[in-house]
Chain A
Amino acid sequence: MSDHDTEPEESPVPARGERFGLDLGNPVERETAAFSWLIVVIVAAITVGAVAKLVSPLAAVIWALVLLGIVCVPIFRGLRHQLGSPDEDEPFE
């Protein structure tokens, strides 16, 4: 059996980010994931707009940065899983 016939190992990190009935996976891989992220952004934008109107623009900016930080965690984890490390690449022949 050659190297090309070897099945890739299953990763403990799920490739598809199914959460709250939305496909929050990699948005550049599937349109459904991009659409789900759009829904998330719309909901987040409504909360930021509400904070801007009810509290202050500065509070809205801080809230937006907090939301951005929360979203960055799954994005970073997903990218780390998908891109991997150069050490894990197949040997260059």
Chain B
Amino acid sequence: MESASIAAHGHVDDHHHGPPEAHQSARIDRTILGILLFILSEIMLFGAFFAAYFFLRVVADPASWPPEGIELPVLIAGINTAVLISSSFTIHYALEAIKHNNHRGLKLGLTLTWLLGATFLFIQINEYIHIGFTPRDGAFGSIFFSLTGLHGAHVFVGLLLLTFANIRAYRGHFGPEQKDHLGVEVPGIYWHFVDIMWIIVFLAVYII
């Protein structure tokens, strides 16, 4: 059996154990493909909610959207948008800092990002409490809370990822090499995605 293996490969493989490595596309790394498919599935999930929102808006009487008596807090939502966009800048700063071996900048950037994300979530929950309608108050109430709530859930998941990144940063786990700061880069990509989604939600629900 061993001689057959030598004949087939031209050399003896003393180190390889277990099943052969999984076949994969020659052009894309499997981890990148995994993130890509995850983001695409998320886009489709948000797309379904946006489709529902615009469908309801089109079939509703334009004068009754939002329904009478409902006043959306555009200013507060705008401030919240600025807070979330700022958090993308701080996580970008954190990553640039660790690329230059600046651990202090990394910790500062990650801490600020977490605080800004938590502030966004706090303001959004506060908005829910004081907004004056509930998900049961017609189609507008249902889709408003569904869309903003779906996004809020993503912010919550992002905060969990940032919590782990913060803990690891304070323990000194990250370094300037790319393989040594993937624990910041991947949450960073996710955080930017969440930020982009909020900009679209804010535009669709509060501005347009």
Contact = CB atoms under 8 A, between A and B. Distances in A.
Interface of A: 8, 26-32, 34-35, 37-38, 41-42, 45, 48-49, 52-53, 57, 60-61, 64, 81-84, 86, 88-90, 92
B195 A38 contact: yes
- Chain B binding surface, main DSSP class: helix
B85 A92 contact: no
B208 A61 contact: yes
B26 A38 contact: no
Given A42-B85, A49-B203, A83 B25 contact: yes
Interface in B143-192: 184-185, 188-189, 192
Nearest to A31: B188
B193 interface: yes
Interface stretch (B27-35, B100-108, B113-121, B126-134): B27-35
A52 B28 contact: no
A34 B192 contact: yes
Contacts of A89: 23, 25-26
Given A28-B32, A49-B207, A35 B88 contact: yes
B127 to A, nearest CB: 19
A27 B184 CA distance: 15
A92 B22 CA distance: 10
A19 to B, nearest CB: 18
A53 B78 CA distance: 15
B29 to A, nearest CB: 8
A83 B195 CA distance: 26
Contacts of B207: 48-49, 52-53, 60
A28 B95 CA distance: 15
Given A45-B199, A52-B208, A27 B26 contact: no
A45 B203 contact: yes
16 contacts: A27-B192, A30-B189, A31-B91, A31-B185, A34-B192, A34-B193, A35-B92, A42-B85, A52-B203, A52-B208, A61-B208, A64-B203, A82-B28, A89-B23, A89-B26, A90-B26
